[in-house]
Amino acid sequence: MKILVQTEAFDLGAEVAAMSQGRTDIGAIASFVGLARDLNEGSGVSAMTLEHYPGMTEKALAALVDEANARWPLLDVTVIHRVGRLLPGDPIVLVAVASPHRGEAFAACEFIMDYLKTQAPFWKKEETPEGERWVEARASDDAAAARWNAP
């Protein structure tokens, strides 16, 4: 398991290669990369700054990876989330999940992202032509996380 909060960019290919290096029990690696967009809520976004809660962030990410491990037979998980100022097109977050079969890798990757969106203490502030603004939480993100609680 690898959890990093960093200002630097990450390399998806290198992270995925590192997961499977030296082992032959992995049958599937599913990955997700979130990018900074140039448009949100009808305004152009020229940059964004990600703030977080040092200490709690790492703890919250570890807790949601633990929860994914409890739900699916996973072989490895990598979560990298960037903080600081990012430009449109920059990668923000990476989640990669290794498992014996694809079903659990796909599911756990989506689960981790859905929980990260509602549980991990990060906040985005956007720079737009109208000035700076904090991104508001979306009800659709709460709904996406809540569906994993359905019986």
Partner 1 sequence: MKLRVLYFARLRERFGVAEESLDFAGATAAELVASLQARGGVWAEELAAGRAFRVAINQDIVALDAPLPDHAEVAIFPPVTGG
| Interface contacts to partner 1, rule CB under 8 A | 34, 50-53, 55-56, 59-60, 81, 92-93, 113, 116-125, 134-137
Spell out the residues 6+ positions from residue 146 whose beta carbon is closer than 8 angstroms to its own. none
Judged by CB, which is closer to partner 1: 15, or 117?
117
Q: Whole-number minimum distance, CB 53 to partner 1, in Å?
A: 6
The residue (of 25 and 130) whose beta carbon lies closer to partner 1 is 130
Contact (CB, 8 A) for 67 and 115: yes
Least Å distance between CB 13 and partner 1?
Answer: 21
Minimum distance between the CB of residue 1 and partner 1, rounded to whole angstroms? 19
* 139/150 with CB nearer partner 1: 139
> Are 57 and 14 spatial neighbours (Cβ–Cβ below 8 Å)?
no
Min. distance of Cβ 142 from partner 1 in angstroms?
8
23: exposed, middle or buried (Cβ count in 10 Å: 0-12, 13-18, 19+)? exposed
* Angle CA 114–115–120, to nearest 5: 125
Q: Decide whether 20 or 57 has the Cβ nearer to partner 1.
A: 57
Neighbours of 47 (CB within 10 A): 16
